[in-house]
């Protein structure tokens, strides 16, 4: 008996201290495959951490899913450093990007993208949260039942967090109990089109539908996102008879800035309902993917001045490309509203930099290569939508450097403002109590998006960014404390969660 005690007790003590060690270091996370890291308590150290109080040299402490402290370098020695240290030198440490506008086409058209490849691409691009659009999947997300199909398709298939917008369509706009059921089931807000969407089960709305939708959204304090283009009598397809469908200018002519301007003009007759004291106070209007940097933007400015609750986003492709550089038949560049001329691009940058445009989104809208009709290069009949998801961080940065874009602005456009739109208070900032959703990247590292580059979107060949030289390479992406991506490799398990309001 005594022998037993002498030999076994020390062994047991040793064993339990091992167990305690592994427990504290969180090898639990590595066992379930969610993280490429063996630790759940660690520090991310760098000379450039972008916080709401500015850029600091220091360290971010992560425990479990959350950020538990943010220390400046000078205070680093003062603390008793429990936990593992990840040293990132000069690399930028900032909140993971939040993309409020992506079409992952799942369920129903997962051959176009799908949750697994789309969210792997997001993680590789430093995006930790995306909000999926209600159309291009089948069925569209326009009811409580179809939202449930979305959630089911996403579960265990997503490598980053995914929320959902519901669709506001003529079939549900005037039925408030139906819309309430959709909102209660967890969509973060609604989305509608003021022109044909290109998808049969997602018909367009007019201002009367939008007005009705806003009154329901007001009760939930959630936004309505609007594709703001309307068809004009002067832009009927018949007017293009005889124009070369392979010429980008034919397509551009079919969607003039006036389509955006006129839609926004109509929108402002109902956005006033969101003003303080208005019938839909609490609701919010958000204009998606603005392309026209002229009158449309002035109208939005006027609405903001008048107290309407309204914001606007644009997308990297409007900031990276101009009509002048789009070749005959190169339908990779087709999207709606269209990419306009170089002068418009300059004005978009100006508006973004001074804060007239609130935020950015990818509007990643892929399809199968066949529907891009590369063979005949017909701009009028090819699928409209730009494939970009994984590249938005380096694209924004590469082009933005010329305009003096700062790291703080990158965080405002891709973190802070989108988090607010999507109602995610615990995301979009390197701050105590926030989720440890973090991207680590090198703004100076340049690379070619060629065949050697690890791309994860399902159909890289349809992306207009392929072959481009970009600056800003993602090293590592953390999602809720899990290291989900590191230098070309993802964690084994898909541990993103569905975000329901």
Task: List the single partner that 175 binds among Zn ion, ligand NAG, none, CB under 5 to 8 Å by kind.
Answer: ligand NAG
261 binds, among Zn ion, ligand NAG, none (CB under 5 to 8 A by kind): none
Closer residue to ligand NAG, CB minimum distance, 178 or 475: 178
Q: Which does 177 bind (CB under 5 to 8 A by kind): ligand NAG, Zn ion, none?
A: ligand NAG
DSSP-based three-state secondary structure for 102: strand
Instruction: For residue 11, count other CB atoms closer than 10 A to its CB.
Output: 9
Q: Between residues 177 and 452, which has the closer beta carbon with respect to ligand NAG?
A: 177
Taking CB under 5 A as the binding criterion, the range among 201-209, 243-251, 356-364, 432-440 that sits at the site for Zn ion is 356-364
Residue 181: name its binding partner from ligand NAG, Zn ion, none (Cβ under 5 to 8 Å by kind): ligand NAG
> What do you get for the CA distance between the two ends of the chain, in Å?
61
234: partner contacted, choices ligand NAG, Zn ion, none (Cβ within 5-8 A by kind): none
Token digits of residue 345 = 């691009």
The helix (run of H) or strand (run of E) holding residue 21 is helix 2-24
Q: How many residues bind Zn ion (CB under 5 A)?
A: 1
Q: For residues 311 and 300, give the distance between their C-alpha atoms in angstroms, rounded to a whole number.
A: 8
Q: Distance (Å, rounded) from C-alpha 291 to C-alpha 361?
A: 12
**Residues binding ligand NAG: number (CB under 6 A):** 4
Q: What are phi and psi of 180, to 5 degrees?
A: -60, -40
Out of Zn ion, ligand NAG, none, what residue 363 binds, judged by CB under 5 to 8 A for its kind, is Zn ion
Cβ of residue 181: shortest distance to ligand NAG, in angstroms? 5
CA dihedral 452, 455, 459, 464 (to 10 degrees): -80
Provide the minimum distance between the beta carbon of 153 and ligand NAG in the complex, in angstroms, as a whole number.
23
The pairing of beta strand 54-63 with beta strand 66-72: antiparallel
The Cα–Cα gap between 58 and 84 comes to: 15
At its nearest, how many Å lie between Zn ion and the CB of residue 133?
Answer: 5
Cα angle 65, 61, 479; round to 5: 35
Strands 166-167 and 498-499: unpaired
Three-state DSSP at 201 gives: coil
Complex with ligand NAG: residue 143 or 344, whichever CB lies closer: 143
416 binds, among ligand NAG, Zn ion, none (CB under 5 to 8 A by kind): none
363 contributes a contact to Zn ion by CB under 5 A:
yes
Q: How far apart are CA 435 and CA 437, in angstroms?
A: 5
Rg (CA), the chain: 24
- Output the smallest distance, CB 404 to ligand NAG, in A: 51
Put residue 182 in one of left, alpha, beta given phi > 0 → left and psi -120 to 50 → alpha: alpha
Which parts of 159-178 interact with ligand NAG (CB under 6 A)?
175, 177-178
For residue 375, the 8-state DSSP code is: T
Decide whether 201 or 301 has the Cβ nearer to ligand NAG: 201
Smallest gap, in angstroms, from Cβ of residue 286 to Zn ion?
12
Please identify, using beta-carbon distances, which residue of 132 and 363 lies nearer to Zn ion.
363
Q: How far is the CB of 152 from ligand NAG (least distance, A)?
A: 20
- Euclidean distance between CA atoms 338 and 314, whole angstroms: 12
Q: Indicate the residue among 174 and 448 with the shorter CB distance to ligand NAG.
A: 174
Region 372-431 residues binding ligand NAG, contact defined as CB under 6 A: none
Q: What is the footprint of ligand NAG within residues 179-208 (CB under 6 A)?
A: 181
**What is the binding site for Zn ion (CB under 5 A)?**
363
**What is the binding site for ligand NAG (CB under 6 A)?**
175, 177-178, 181
């Amino acid at each position: 008996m005594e022998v037993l005690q002498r030999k076994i007790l020390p062994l047991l003590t040793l064993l339990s201290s091992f167990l305690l060690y592994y427990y504290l270091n969180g090898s639990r996370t590595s066992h379930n495959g969610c993280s490429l890291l063996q630790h759940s308590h660690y520090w991310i150290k760098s000379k450039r951490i972008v916080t709401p109080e500015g850029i600091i040299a220091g360290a971010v402490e992560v425990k479990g899913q959350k950020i538990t402290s943010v220390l400046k370098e000078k205070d680093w020695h003062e603390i008793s450093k429990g936990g593992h240290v990840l040293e990132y030198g000069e690399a930028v440490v900032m909140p993971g990007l939040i993309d409020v506008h992506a079409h992952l086409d799942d369920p129903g058209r997962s051959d176009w993208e799908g949750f697994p490849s789309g969210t792997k691409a997001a993680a590789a691009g430093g995006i930790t949260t995306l909000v999926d659009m209600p159309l291009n999947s089948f069925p569209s997300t326009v009811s409580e039942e179809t939202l449930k199909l979305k959630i089911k398709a996403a579960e265990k298939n997503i490598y980053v967090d995914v929320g959902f917008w519901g669709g506001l369509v003529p079939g549900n706009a005037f039925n408030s109990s139906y819309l309430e059921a959709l909102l209660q089931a967890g969509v973060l807000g609604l989305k509608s089109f003021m022109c044909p969407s290109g998808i049969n089960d997602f018909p367009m709305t007019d201002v009367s539908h939008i007005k009705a939708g806003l009154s329901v959204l007001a009760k939930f304090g959630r936004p309505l996102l609007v594709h703001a283009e309307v068809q004009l009598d002067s832009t009927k397809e018949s007017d293009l008879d005889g124009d070369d469908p392979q010429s980008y200018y034919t397509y551009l002519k079919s969607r003039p800035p006036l389509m955006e301007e006129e839609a926004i003009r109509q929108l402002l007759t109902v956005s006033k309902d969101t003003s303080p004291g208005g019938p839909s106070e609490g609701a919010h209007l958000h204009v998606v993917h603005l392309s026209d940097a002229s009158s449309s933007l002035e109208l939005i400015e006027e609405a903001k001045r008048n107290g309407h609750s309204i914001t606007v986003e644009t997308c990297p492709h409007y900031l990276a490309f101009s009509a002048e550089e789009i070749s005959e038949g190169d339908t990779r560049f087709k999207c709606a509203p269209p990419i306009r001329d170089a002068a418009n691009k300059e004005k978009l940058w100006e508006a973004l930099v001074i804060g007239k445009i609130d935020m950015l989104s990818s509007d990643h809208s892929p399809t199968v290569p066949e529907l891009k009709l590369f063979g005949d290069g017909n701009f009028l009949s090819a699928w409209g939508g730009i494939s970009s998801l994984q590249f938005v961080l380096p694209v924004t940065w590469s082009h933005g450097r010329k305009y003096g874009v700062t790291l703080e602005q990158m965080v405002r456009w891709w973190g802070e403002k989108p988090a607010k739109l999507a109602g995610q208070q615990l995301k979009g900032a390197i701050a105590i109590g926030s989720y440890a959703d973090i991207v680590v990247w090198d703004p100076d590292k340049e690379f070619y998006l060629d065949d050697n580059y690890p791309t994860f979107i399902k159909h890289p060949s349809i992306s207009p960014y392929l072959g481009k030289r970009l600056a800003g390479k993602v090293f590592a992406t953390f999602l809720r404390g899990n290291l989900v991506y590191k230098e070309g490799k993802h964690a084994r398990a898909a541990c993103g969660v569905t975000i329901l309001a």
